[in-house]
Amino acid sequence: MKKFESRKLEMPESPYRDLEFLESLEGRTLRILSEYVWPMARLEKLKVESTVLFLGSAKASPGSSDSVLHKYYWEAEELAYLITKWALNLKPKGRKYVVCTGGGPGIMEAANRGAVRAGGKTIGMNISLPQPQMPNPYITPELNFTFHYFFMRKFWLMYKAKAVIAFPGGFGTLDEFFEILTLLQTGKVSRKEVILILYGKDYWDKVINFQALVDFKAIMAEDLQLFTVCSSPEETFSLLKKKLPKMT
């Protein structure tokens, strides 16, 4: 009979501590699940009930008045300030209509900045990219998130939003705006649950010909009622202040 040497084995790492496994193809499901559960736990701990989501260009600069997008930076900052100042007086204090952004520069930074100026907490949901997009300095540290998966980031950007405001932007803004618009059009999200605003009529009239979609019968005329176009912080805030308390 063949003899075997007795070996003393060390206790192996638990699977959830095994980084090689977690970063493998087989661990993908767990990585996705963690990007669902982790933000949920954090938002519940900080008692964030609902958000107002700001979308817009990362290229809008606060200091370059030569840029066409420059004015939208400061209008986003002012609108976020107005929303947050108003929301802080609602009960429960600081839990409703928390300003949320994609966490980067430009319009995102402006909205987080305005919320901080008003004295509120504010959320940044960043995405890991080959060329890193660093979190802007105005995000509340405990509400600073980074996602690997775009679809999980989109889910959390939208999940607690009672209003979505799309400022002028590029491909990313268009992608996020049309995804939310499609959810409203198909009834996956009710119009009673979220207000969708397209901010900056001059910009969007040049970028998208919505009426052409109706003329070509690609959409119904009533689909244009799924969103509202606004062009000033005061106009937008007035609309939100009137409609947000009625949202389910």
pLDDT (tens digit per residue) in 236-246: 999 999 999 98
Task: Label the pairing between strands 161-166 and 195-199.
Answer: parallel
| Mean pLDDT of the 135-143 span | 97
Whole-number pLDDT of residue 1:
59
Element (H, E) at 165: strand 161-166
- Six token digits for residue 84: 């947050």
Quote the DSSP letter at residue 195. E
| Pair of tokens at residue 35 | 């990007």
Bridge partners, residue 100, by sequence: 53, 123
Q: What is the mean pLDDT of residues 45-55?
A: 97
Domain ranges of the chain: 57-246
Residue with tokens 């996705």: 32
AA identity, residue 106: G
Tokens read off for 219 = 């959409």
In the CATH scheme, what is the code of domain 57-246? 3.40.50.450
**pTM of the full structure:** 0.92
| Tens-digit pLDDT profile for residues 84-111 | 999 999 988 889 999 999 999 999 999 9
Q: How confident is the model at residue 174 (pLDDT cuts 50, 70, 90)?
A: very high
Q: For residues 216 and 17, what is the distance between their CA atoms, to the nearest angstrom?
A: 55
Please tell me the least confidently modeled range out of 9-23, 161-175, 207-221, 223-237.
9-23
**Terminal-to-terminal C-alpha distance of the chain:** 75
* C-beta of residue 201 within 8 angstroms of C-beta of residue 231: yes
